[in-house]
Amino acid sequence: ERFKKFFNDKGVNAFKFRVGSECGRGKDEWEGRTEEIVKTINHSLDKSITKMVDANSCYSPAQAIEVGKLLEDNNVVHFEEPCPYWKPDQTKLVTDALKIDVTGGEQDCDLRIWKDMVKRKIVNIFQPDVMYMGGLTKALKVAKIIEKGGFICTPHTANLSLVTVCTMHFLKAIDNAGPYLEFSIEGEDYYPWQQNLFLNDPFNLEDGKVTIKDLPGWGVEINPNWLDNAEYKVSEIE
Amino acid sequence: ERFKKFFNDKGVNAFKFRVGSECGRGKDEWEGRTEEIVKTINHSLDKSITKMVDANSCYSPAQAIEVGKLLEDNNVVHFEEPCPYWKPDQTKLVTDALKIDVTGGEQDCDLRIWKDMVKRKIVNIFQPDVMYMGGLTKALKVAKIIEKGGFICTPHTANLSLVTVCTMHFLKAIDNAGPYLEFSIEGEDYYPWQQNLFLNDPFNLEDGKVTIKDLPGWGVEINPNWLDNAEYKVSEIE
State the ipTM, two decimals: 0.73
CB A67 within 8 A of CB A91: no
| CB-nearest partner of A86 from B86, B112, B230 | B112
Q: What pLDDT score does A232 carry?
A: 82
Question: Torsion angle of alpha carbons B22, B28, B33, B34, nearest 10°?
Answer: 80
Residues in A closer than 8 angstroms to B224, CB to CB, are: none
Are B236 and A232 within 8 A, CB to CB? yes
Q: What pLDDT score does B105 carry?
A: 96
pLDDT tens figures, A123-166 = 999 999 999 999 999 999 999 999 999 999 999 998 899 999 99
| CB-nearest partner of A112 from B88, B234, B237 | B88
Which whole number is the average pLDDT over A21-48? 79
Q: What pLDDT score does A189 carry?
A: 84
CA B83 to chain centre: 16
d(CA B210, CA B202): 8
Whether chain B has a CB inside 8 Å of the CB on A215: the answer is: no
| CB-nearest partner of A113 from B113, B235, B238 | B113
Which whole number is the average pLDDT over A76-85? 94
d(CA B17, CA B55): 9
- Return the SS3 of B170: helix
CB B233 within 8 A of CB A229: no
Nearest CA in chain B to A229: B238
Nearest CA in chain A to B237: A231
> Distance (Å) from the C-alpha of residue A17 to the closest C-alpha of chain B?
29
Nearest CA in chain A to B117: A112
> Could you tell me which of B185, B220, B214, B175 has the C-alpha nearest to residue B12?
B185
d(CA A171, CA B153): 43
> Distance (Å) from the C-alpha of residue A183 to the closest C-alpha of chain B?
30
DSSP label at residue B235:
E
pLDDT tens figures, A159-218 = 899 999 999 999 999 999 998 899 888 888 888 888 889 988 888 888 888 888 888 888
Are A112 and B86 within 8 A, CB to CB? yes
Whether chain A has a CB inside 8 Å of the CB on B116: the answer is: yes
Q: Measuring CA to CA, how many Å separate B88 from each of A214, B93, B94?
A: 40, 9, 10
The tens-digit pLDDT sequence of chain B (238 residues) is 778 888 877 778 888 888 777 666 667 666 677 888 899 989 888 888 899 999 999 999 999 999 999 999 999 999 999 999 999 999 999 999 999 999 999 999 999 999 999 999 999 999 999 999 999 999 999 999 999 999 999 999 988 999 999 999 999 999 999 988 998 888 888 888 888 899 888 888 888 888 888 888 888 989 988 888 888 877 766 5
Residues in B closer than 8 angstroms to A230, CB to CB, are: 238
Is pTM beyond 0.90 here? Answer: no
